[in-house]
Amino acid sequence: MNYRTFSEEISKLIRPQSYPLGVKLVKNGNQLPEGAIRPSKYGIKISLCQWTTMARRWGRILGAVADDINCTPCLAALGLKQMQNSTALSEYFLEMGYVDSIELAEKATKGLGPIPSGEISGIAFFPLEMAPVDPDIVLIYGTPAQMARLAAGYLYHYGELIEARTSGFGISCLSAVKSHFTDKPAFVHPGRGERILAGTDESEMFMTFPAGYCESLLDGLKKTQEKGTRYPVQSYMIYQPPTIKPMKSLEDKLTDL
């Protein structure tokens, strides 16, 4: 797949305000892609969602490992560090006031499906048009209307609806990469964590999908556009608006030239 071409076509068909992103999951002791900038370059530790924003808005190739991240829920949920006990993340949710009881916290944690520790050791984000390696996952940020357009492109070849994942409070970093493990696309509504720390706009959400779907998704977008489904949404304009009374009164005071 030519990811530069895919990115350029998505920019024409969907018109997102930021770069479509490739995501590479580092496994089995492998290294981050060559040239990937880590937070240590700036002498800081980050929440991983900051790197997503910087990659898609600044156009940078970025990477991070456990030692680069100070967002402990992210470290736990992505399995970048080992939890001492199986309820550690659930206890965090309860302490933060996200749920009413430890039982509900455990239910929420199970629903999120944290990645087993050690499954991945690092993660890289980069604009698809400058991909240094083949991505595992693609993220496209945009408005709900743009996401609906992407859904139509996917539906064309698969006939499946796309599910949405949201907790309302955060850990969208986990939701972003889960498509790699489920082999299914998903829509993600970023929670307050990403919107506070990474500057994700209130109007934004994103689609995540395994990179192997790029070719069929793009073809579906093109085929559905040929049939009239497109973005920007075409508001119907071929109609005569009603004339209200003040307009009618003004009309009586007008004459043809």
3-state secondary structure of 62: strand
* Residue 9 pLDDT exceeds 80: yes
Neighbours of 179 (CB within 10 A): 24
- pLDDT tens per residue across span 132-191: 999 999 999 999 999 999 999 999 999 999 988 777 776 889 999 999 999 999 999 998
> What local confidence, expressed as pLDDT, does residue 174 receive?
93
What are the structural domain ranges in the chain? Answer: 3-82+117-251
**What is the arithmetic mean of pLDDT over 81-97?**
90
> What local confidence, expressed as pLDDT, does residue 191 receive?
87
> What local confidence, expressed as pLDDT, does residue 30 receive?
82
Q: Give burial (CB, 10 Å; 0-12/13-18/19+) of 109.
A: buried
**What is the arithmetic mean of pLDDT over 203-229?**
97
Give the confidence band of 211 by pLDDT, cuts at 50, 70, 90. Answer: very high
Q: Among all chains, which residue has been given the structure tokens 């698969």? A: 158
> What local confidence, expressed as pLDDT, does residue 156 receive?
96
> What local confidence, expressed as pLDDT, does residue 199 receive?
94
- pLDDT tens per residue across span 27-83: 977 899 999 999 999 999 999 999 999 999 999 999 999 999 999 999 999 999 999
- pLDDT tens per residue across span 93-139: 999 898 999 999 999 999 888 999 999 999 999 999 999 999 999 99
Residues 122 and 32: beta-carbon distance below 8 Å: yes
